[in-house]
């Protein structure tokens, strides 16, 4: 198994050189921290990942959860991992001090998530717990916080998001789980939930579900959905709460995390506790969605990164054939496959995708932090930019991560298709990420249908202004200016595509306007990640000019610029074909009266 699964040097480059994470400590909320504390947290996460997670990557995959006699057993190392993360304060890294957290920026807490998911995404438990706890602290009563949050952040209890039902996946307006008010202010819950990650297991003493349900008599649709805390065991003595595990799904990947089918109220005795106000369940969930989608993007980027380093290590060690200019020299020794141009192309593609995606995600995390702690126009602009970038930050790492891991597997050749190496598992693991927390199609409709036009198009105007700053910085360096000019042309192309699509929206033909929204998301994602790569190249160029780096550091910075060039030469031109399709008046995907047989 590969010994390296992420680059701490790259993390430090992005956090401290590109995004200057320590500048967040100028805000009072983060003032207790500095660069040293940020790095200590990263070191702590790395230690746990190295000792309790990465060595068990295959073992967790091959010894998946089992449901027997109503009890779900998981790999024993998961309990150790949860305890270690709780004791290190990493489950509550981003929580306020008053809730027992470390009050760290999302930039740092999401970096922790990246590290542990790169090590072993089959232990995807703590992110679910912190998400559930965050909902309680944000919208629940002080009593709910006092009852549930300490044990959640300590890794003693597990948190889940119990949204999906057999008939209600992306369409949460169709949720039918019911909530009947009780005289003491609690509710009796009845219904079924499916695909609930970590929905039951023996590594935690209690499972705390944040569950969507409909109060009796509530309005139909999304306006009638409320949010409840529904524990497996009631906290007063850990009494059984009539939440039954009726099935565990056998998944393609991420097999270490049980995906549960849950039944509530089989004995009419499942008690739930309302979070916040009635009928506000979806608004509460969506307010947490930015954080959740950063988490999914980080998971995808992490898995793809682990696969990239496995492929890179293999390519350096695996001899095969001779270099192209020596193919007729049969007495020449075989060369490591990394010396073959096509293998280098695959590796550069993986590096471009993974490091570009991680940069975008840290950009989103930085905007999240500013939107939470800044004031006035700075706060508003950060939120608008974050809102605009969120569909890309979730979908680009997921969709392109799948392609990247595919190229990792291809680098291994036939060996990649076997269980002897980790990439076949990582290929299975990453495939769920374009589905989690809103499918790519949902993200595309959100971007084109709402984000690009909200507030008169202010968000894309802000984004293009930020990109223009990077273009200006790059233009001061002669060898970067051609790429700055290329990105300028891509901004113009994006605006032209929007101009060609807007008449459909203005005429009320929303189906036509959104018919190829996913292609627009692809185009927009390529441009946004090109911005991230140009931003990295500017910092690398400045370091080369001012620091006189030697050896490994020299190679690191030169590698950044080389990968940026690769991205602009190999990935950015793909926008040409996307733009042609998006501007074409003929549409082929809308159902007509005379639908073609499929």
Active site residues: 437
Cα 201 to Cα 311: distance, rounded to the nearest angstrom: 33
- Three-state DSSP class for 52? helix
Q: Kindly give the residue spans of alpha helices, DSSP state H, lying in 49-189.
A: 57-62, 76-87, 106-119, 126-139, 142-153
Rounded CA-CA distance 294/301 in Å is 10
**Measured CA angle at 131 (ends 128, 137), to 5 deg:** 140
Torsion of CA 516, 348, 9, 91, to 10 degrees: 40
Q: What is the token pair recorded at 266?
A: 């089989």
Alpha helices in 478-588 (DSSP H): 481-506, 510-514, 517-546, 551-566, 574-583
Two tokens, residue 563: 């990968």
Cα–Cα dist 48/56, whole Å: 12
- The token pair at 380 is 């508003």
Q: How many whole angstroms from its chain centre is CA 216?
A: 35
N-term to C-term CA, the chain? 44
Q: Which helix (H) or strand (E) holds 378?
A: helix 376-412
Q: Which residues pair with 233 in a beta bridge?
A: 240
Q: What 3-state class would DSSP assign to 106?
A: helix
Instruction: Single out the residue of 248, 291, 5 nearest to residue 120, CA to CA.
Output: 5
Burial 554-574 (b: 16+ CB within 10 A, else e): eebbeebbbbbbbbbeebbee
Cα separations (Å) of 550 from 55, 130, 351, 398, 558? 33, 42, 22, 35, 11
Residues facing residue 72 across a β-bridge: 67
Q: Which two tokens stand for residue 406?
A: 């595919």
Provide the token pair at 497: 């595509």
């Amino acid at each position: 198994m590969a010994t390296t699964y992420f680059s701490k040097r790259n993390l430090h480059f992005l956090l401290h050189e590109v995004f200057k994470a320590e500048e967040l400590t100028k805000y009072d909320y983060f003032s207790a921290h500095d660069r040293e504390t940020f790095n200590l947290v990263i070191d702590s996460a790395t230690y746990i990942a190295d000792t309790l997670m990465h060595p068990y990557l295959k073992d967790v995959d091959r010894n998946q959860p089992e449901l027997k006699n109503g009890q779900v057993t998981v790999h024993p190392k998961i309990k150790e991992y949860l305890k270690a993360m709780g004791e290190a304060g990493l489950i509550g890294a981003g929580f306020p001090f008053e809730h027992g957290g470390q009050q760290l920026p999302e930039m740092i807490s999401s970096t922790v998530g990246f590290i542990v998911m790169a090590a072993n995404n089959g232990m995807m438990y703590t992110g679910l717990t912190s998400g559930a706890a965050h909902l309680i602290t944000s919208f629940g009563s002080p009593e709910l916080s006092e009852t549930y949050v300490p044990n959640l952040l300590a890794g003693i209890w597990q948190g889940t998001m119990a949204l999906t039902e057999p008939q209600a996946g992306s369409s949460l307006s169709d949720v039918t789980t019911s909530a009947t008010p009780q005289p003491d202010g609690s509710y009796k819950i009845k219904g079924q939930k499916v695909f609930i990650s970590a929905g039951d297991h023996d590594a935690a003493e209690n499972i705390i579900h944040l569950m969507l349900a409909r109060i009796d008599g509530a309005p139909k649709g999304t306006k009638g959905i409320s949010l409840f805390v529904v524990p497996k065991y009631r906290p007063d003595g850990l009494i059984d709460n009539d939440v039954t595990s009726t099935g565990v799904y056998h998944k393609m990947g991420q097999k270490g995390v049980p995906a549960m089918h849950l039944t509530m109220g089989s004995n009419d005795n499942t008690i739930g506790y309302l979070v916040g106000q009635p009928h506000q369940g979806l608004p509460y969930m969506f307010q947490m969605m930015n954080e959740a989608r950063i988490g999914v993007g980080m998971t995808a980027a992490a898995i793809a990164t682990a696969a990239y380093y496995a492929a890179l290590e293999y390519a350096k060690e695996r001899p095969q054939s001779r270099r192209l200019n020596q193919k007729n020299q049969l007495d020449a020794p075989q060369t490591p496959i990394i010396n073959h141009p096509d293998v280098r192309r695959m590796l550069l593609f993986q590096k471009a995708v993974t490091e570009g995606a991680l940069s975008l995600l840290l950009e989103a995390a930085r905007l999240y932090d500013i939107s939470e702690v800044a004031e006035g126009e700075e706060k508003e602009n950060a939120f608008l930019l974050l809102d605009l970038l969120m569909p890309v930050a979730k979908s680009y790492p997921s969709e392109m991560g799948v392609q990247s891991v595919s190229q990792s597997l291809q680098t291994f050749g036939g060996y990649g298709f076997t269980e002897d190496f980790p990439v076949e598992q990582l290929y299975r693991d990453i495939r769920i990420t374009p589905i989690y927390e809103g499918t790519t199609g949902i993200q595309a409709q959100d971007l084109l249908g709402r984000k690009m036009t909200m507030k008169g198009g202010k968000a894309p105007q802000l984004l293009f202004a930020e990109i223009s700053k990077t273009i200006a910085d790059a233009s001061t360096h002669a060898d970067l200016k051609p790429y700055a000019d290329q990105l300028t042309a891509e901004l113009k192309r994006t605006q032209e595509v929007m101009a060609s699509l807007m008449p459909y929206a203005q005429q009320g033909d929303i189906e036509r306007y959104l018919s190829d929204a996913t292609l627009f998301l692809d185009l927009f994602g390529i441009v946004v990640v090109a911005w991230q790569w140009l931003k990295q190249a500017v910092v690398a160029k400045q370091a080369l000019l001012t620091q006189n780096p030697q050896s490994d550091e020299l190679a690191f910075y030169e590698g950044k610029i080389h990968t940026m060039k690769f991205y602009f030469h190999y990935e950015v031109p793909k926008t040409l074909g996307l733009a042609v399709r998006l501007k074409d008046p003929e549409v082929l995907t809308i159902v007509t009266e005379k639908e073609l047989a499929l």
